[in-house]
């Protein structure tokens, strides 16, 4: 089957902007809130959101990258390559927005929650994803802020491309 484009260019921009305003509605001026993107693909979304928010709020927003490899439960079942973790701020008592591109089984987020605790005890943790693949969760994890909800089957893949690495912004649904 031909890949189906779910989001592209202007649409994606609108979605990201909407997510930002949803965040502002809850977190006001972000004085006690930080953003953490999950490696490897969530960091691009996290930094986009950070930039957009900085543009809207005219202030610096803390945004870090978190790698979950060492906390995963499927280590030894498949090859995992660790990525850099870079969190240069304190998350103790902060409101943390975890960011990932696609929410599928929820296992990455579960590992992310564990990994995050190595940096302190946050006040509250919320999850933001660009694409939520419904009905495919292995663990009881749901996102609070969602760009797009889709129904997909196991044999399909959601591919999120970013201009930073893939030359263009695009979300497509492809058959494996």
75 binds another protein (CB under 8 A): yes
> Closest separation between CB of residue 76 and another protein, Å?
6
Question: Considering the rule CB under 8 A, would residue 89 count as an interface residue with another protein?
Answer: no
Closest CA to 132 of 114, 115, 112, 152: 152
- Does residue number 107 form part of the binding site for another protein (CB under 8 A)? no
Per CB under 8 A, contacts with another protein among 43-72 are: 67, 69-71
Residues in 109-138 that interact with another protein by CB under 8 A: 114-115, 117-120
x/- mask, another protein, residues 6-45, rule CB under 8 A, reads ----------------------------------------
Q: Rule CB under 8 A: is residue 80 a binding residue for another protein?
A: yes
Binding site for another protein (CB under 8 A): 67, 69-71, 75-76, 79-85, 114-115, 117-120
């Amino acid at each position: 089957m031909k890949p189906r484009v779910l989001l592209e260019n202007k649409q994606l921009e609108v979605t990201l902007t909407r997510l930002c305003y949803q965040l502002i509605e809850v977190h006001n001026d972000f004085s006690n809130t930080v953003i953490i993107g999950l490696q490897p693909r969530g960091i691009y979304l996290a930094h986009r959101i950070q930039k957009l928010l900085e543009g809207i709020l005219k202030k610096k927003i803390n945004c870090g990258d978190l790698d979950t490899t060492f906390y995963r439960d499927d280590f030894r079942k498949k090859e995992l390559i660790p990525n850099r973790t870079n969190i240069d701020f304190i998350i103790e008592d902060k409101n943390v927005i975890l960011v990932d591109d696609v929410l599928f089984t929820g296992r990455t987020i579960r590992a992310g929650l564990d990994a995050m605790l190595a940096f302190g005890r946050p006040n509250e943790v919320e999850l933001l994803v660009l694409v939520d693949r419904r009905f495919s969760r292995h663990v009881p994890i749901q996102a609070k802020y969602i760009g797009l909800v889709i129904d997909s089957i196991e044999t399909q893949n959601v591919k999120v491309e970013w201009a930073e690495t893939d030359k263009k912004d695009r979300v497509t649904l492809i058959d494996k």
